[in-house]
Amino acid sequence: MPQNPLVEKTPVTLLGLGAMGTALARTWLSAGHPLTVWNRTPARAAALEAEGASVADTAAGAVAANTLVITCLLDDMSVGEVLAGLDLTGKDLVNLTTSTPAQARDRAEWSRQRGARYLDGGIMAVPPMIGVPESGGYAFYSGSEELFARHRDTLGIPAGTSFVGEDAGFAALYDVALLSAMYGMFAGAAHAFALIRKEDIDPAALAPLLADWLTAMAPSVHQTADQLRTGDYTEGVASPLAMQVAGTPAFLRTAEQQGVSPELLTPYFDLMRRRLAEGSDDEGLTGVIDLLVR
């Protein structure tokens, strides 16, 4: 987001200079924010120092340098280790480390007990997308809305921002929800490529077909959401569950004939069959969600 050059840039402390931390750091430096960095392995800070960052010898020194403290470490355990025993009184702690929702809520309470305000972040981008607005990368934020509003412009420099609620666990929840869907897509694509692996078919010929098909199917999530909201799982169904279940043996036989393990498909097909056995012939696939929720 463009910032007013006449407004003083918020100084940032960043703990963690892995692939993501380094990419974040470069965007704040390029945008003219005073930046103090610390990393467990000091060598990783050398290039950033040459680019204008102040390098702290200790995490305590880095935290003491600025009010806005951003962590981008491996996991929640490393955040706990790095911040243990440090004075966080009055700090604005923004944690961009991937966590579970429960870890994020605990970290928010842990920060509150130490006199810090807390915002949790989940980054929907890989390092090359950071600082490239046209890449579409963004981060979910949740926790203190007041803190988000205060630092929105600074947080918006590396990637877009999306505030998803005062519950500190929500950013992690949205993050994991989207990434889980992504892995489902990767699993389906892996099975598709495996099916053609032994044939005289160029994977590069299948790839655009796969991409177009997945893109065409993706908007079905809106119908799923509408059905979950209304509770009517038959509304607008074009491909009833009974028809889809009847088709599954062809998928499994094809896998067998192509010498491909069906292990990525069968868990989902099993759920479809269970839902159909409950008498939900006219539904689409939305009822499977209710079987997953324990």
* Binding residues for ligand FVH (CB under 6 A): 16-21, 39-41, 44, 72-75, 78, 81-82, 97-98, 123, 126-127
* Minimum CB–partner distance for residue 102 and ligand FVH (Å): 16
Q: Decide whether 78 or 135 has the Cβ nearer to ligand FVH.
A: 78
Q: How far is the CB of 177 from ligand FVH (least distance, A)?
A: 14
Least distance CB 87 / ligand FVH (angstroms): 18
Strand order in the sheet with 160-163: 54-55, 35-38, 12-15, 68-71, 92-95, 117-124, 138-143, 160-163
Closest separation between CB of residue 20 and ligand FVH, Å?
3
Q: Which is nearer to ligand FVH, 158 or 287 (CB)?
A: 158
Helix or strand (DSSP H, E) at 95: strand 92-95
Q: Which two tokens stand for residue 41?
A: 């392995």
The rounded distance, in Å, linking the Cα atoms of 56 and 109 is: 27
Nearest to residue 108, comparing CAs of 175, 171, 169, 173? 169
Which is closer to ligand FVH, CB of 38 or CB of 163?
38
Reference 178, options 213, 237, 136; nearest CA is: 136
The helix-helix angle for 170-196 and 241-257 (nearest 10°) equals 50
Closest by CA to 282, choosing from 230, 244, 226, is: 244
Of 135 and 223, the one with the shorter C-beta distance to ligand FVH is: 135
- Residue 140 Cβ vs ligand FVH, minimum distance, rounded to whole Å: 11
**CB-closest chain residue to ligand FVH:** 18
Which tokens go with 253? 């036989």
Residue 74 or 242 with smaller CB distance to ligand FVH? 74
Nearer to ligand FVH, 40 or 114 (CB): 40
Least Å from the CB of residue 94 to ligand FVH = 13
Selection from 8, 24, 23, 290 nearest residue 156 by Cα: 24
